[in-house]
Amino acid sequence: MSLPEKRTHACFWEGLEGRYDVLELRAIHERCSGCRACELACALANFREMNPAKSALGIEGRFPVPGDYRIHLCDQCGACAEACPEDAITFEGEAYLIDHDLCIGCLLCVDACPHGVLYVHASSETPIKCTLCGACAEICPRDAIVLEGGA
């Protein structure tokens, strides 16, 4: 398994298509310093909004004890799709995506997510889910989030 090179453009996984069978985000918690630029980048890439509350990942600072960070990411496990009564969440090439036209906003997927990374925001009846766009990994200056390809 090799790490993709850092790019300077959004959606940087586009160039990786075809090179790997699977792409996934991986968190390396010890590298995180809690700056939350990933949250800003996620909301900018997916909603064109300066608003970390609309990001599909979360940084948890565990203070005062033990004194470290945990990165909560979607690993495309598909539990949300299984929970969805409307089959509104489907695997599209790289990631499980929500069809917001089919979604009825029951939020069963939010409850079903084992990582707690499906988010509800007041501006929308349907939840926010990771699209595997890679914006978080791209901006992380410490490579605490990396987009990895595997065979």
Partner 1 sequence: MLYGYAGTMLEVDLTSGRIRKTPVPDDLARDYLGGRGFVARLLWERLRSGTDPFDPENLIVIATGPLSGHLVPASGKTHFGTKSPATGGYADSNMGGHFGPALKYAGYDVLLLTGRASEPTFLVIEDESVALRSAEEWWGRGAITTEKGLKKELGEEFRIITIGPAGENLVRFACISHDFGRQAGRAGIGAVLGSKHLKAIAVKGTGGLPVFDVDGLYEKGREAYLKVRAKPGFAGWTPEGTAGITDWVNQVGAFPTRNFQTSYFPGYQKINGKAVVEHLKITDKGCFCCPTPCGKYGKASTSLGTVHVEGPEYESIALLGGACVLGSIEEVAYANYVCDELGLDTISGGVVAAWAMECFEKGLLSEEQVGREIHFEDLESVVYLLEKMASRDGIGDLLAEGVMRAAAKLGRGSDSFAIHVKGLEWSGYESRNAPGMMLAYMTADVGAHHNRAWALGHDVAGSAASVHDLISAGGGRDKMAKAPVAGKAERVIDLQHIRPLFDCLGICRLQYMELGFEGQNYEELFYLVTGRRMKWDELLEVSERVWHLTRAFSKREIEGFGRKYDYPPRRFFQEPIPDGPNEGHFLTRDELDVLLDEYYQARGWDANGIPTEKTLCRVGLADVAEALKQGK
User: How many Cα atoms sit within 13 Å of 102 on the Cβ side?
Assistant: 11
144-25-21-85 Cα dihedral, nearest 10 degrees = 170
User: Out of 52, 94, 134, 136, which residue is the one contacting partner 1 (CB under 8 A)?
Assistant: 52
If the CB atoms of residues 14 and 49 are measured against partner 1, the closer one turns out to be 49
Task: Rule CB under 8 A: say whether 63 interacts with partner 1.
Answer: yes
If binding is defined by CB under 8 A, does position 28 make contact with partner 1?
Answer: no
Cα distance from N-terminal residue to C-terminal residue, the chain: 8
Query: Where does this chain touch partner 1 (CB under 8 A) — which range of 20-28, 49-57, 93-101, 102-110?
Result: 49-57
Q: What is the dihedral of CA 7, 95, 45, 51, to 10 degrees?
A: -130
**Per-residue contact string for residues 1-20; x = within reach of partner 1 by CB under 8 A:** -------x-x----------
Return the range that interacts with partner 1 (CB under 8 A); candidates 38-46, 75-83, 89-97, 103-111: 38-46
Half-sphere exposure of 65 (CA within 13 A, CB side): 0
